[in-house]
Every structure is written in structure tokens, then in C-alpha cells.
Amino acid sequence: IELLVVISILGILLAISIFGMQGARQASRDGKRKADLEQMRSGLEIYRADCNIYPNAMPATGAQLKGSGTPSTCAVANVYISSVPADPVPSTHSYTYSSNGSTYEICASMEQGGTTVTCGGSSSCGGSTCNYKVVSP
């Protein structure tokens, strides 16, 4: 009987720790999302400084954001984002980018809540709802 009590207590402690870790994992992924969006913002601002405009579209995940060739300071050889980041949970989440050339919005879906936001008129961030936004300064 004592052995069963010990095993039961260990099982309960294990279950509590597993559920407790879930919040930490979500917070970690949300931190990664915020860092990714800031990395994208930094690249976009350098792009605008060289090209006098924000790109109309973001390249696919993993691709490079390069210059357009116009004006000459926006050389095609210039790499502004070496690899467009993917959401840490790409099967159900994605980043959304919208730009009209003079402004931009980048949205993500944080796992630990937030108010619904729109990017380019849509609140969809992959299979989830956008609730975090970075905008041009």
C-alpha cells in the first residue's frame, strides 16, 4: 500500500509539472515571435532607407528579402533579411505582412492571449487569430 501511495504521489507531481511547463513553453514561443517580428522590422527599416519604400510583399518563409534594384541604392545584391522567419508553430500559426509601400504591418498570433488585431484588413495568422502587431514607425 505504501508503494502505491508513493507511486500515486509521483504521478500527481509529474502531471502538475507537465501542465506547469506548458505555460513556460507558450511564453517561450511568444518571445520568439516578438523577436522575429523585431528582426523583420529592422530589415524593413534598412530596406526603406535604401529603397525609399517598403516592399509590397514579404518573401516566403526561409527566403531572403533583397533589394529591388530601383533606385540604385536598393541593389539586388543587398540582403535585408537573410532568412524570413517562420512562426515556431508553423502548422497552426504564421506571420502576416501587409504594406502599401509607405507603411507596413506585421502580425502574429500569441499563444498567451491578446486583443484581436488586423493586418491588411484580415485577422488571420495562419490557422489562428492575430493578436499582436508591429507597425512602421
What total number of domains does the chain contain?
Answer: 1
| Tens-binned pLDDT, residue by residue, of the chain (137 aa) | 888 888 999 988 887 777 777 788 899 999 999 999 999 999 999 999 999 999 999 999 999 999 999 899 999 999 999 999 999 998 899 999 999 999 999 999 999 988 999 998 999 998 899 999 999 98
Q: Which three cell numbers stand for residue 111?
A: 499563444
Does residue 94 form part of some domain? yes
Say whether 43 sits in a helix, a strand or coil: helix
Q: Are 134 and 106 in contact (CB under 8 A)?
A: yes
Range of the domain at 76: 27-135
Q: Taking the model in full, what pTM does it have?
A: 0.84
Question: Which residue, among 88, 85, 91, has the nearest Cα to 110 in the 3D structure?
Answer: 88
Other CB atoms within 10 Å distance of the CB of residue 37: 19
Does residue 22 form part of some domain? no
**Rounded Cα–Cα distance for residues 15 and 8 (Å):** 11
Distances (CA, A) of 76 to 65, 69, 129: 10, 5, 34
CATH number of 111's domain: 3.30.700
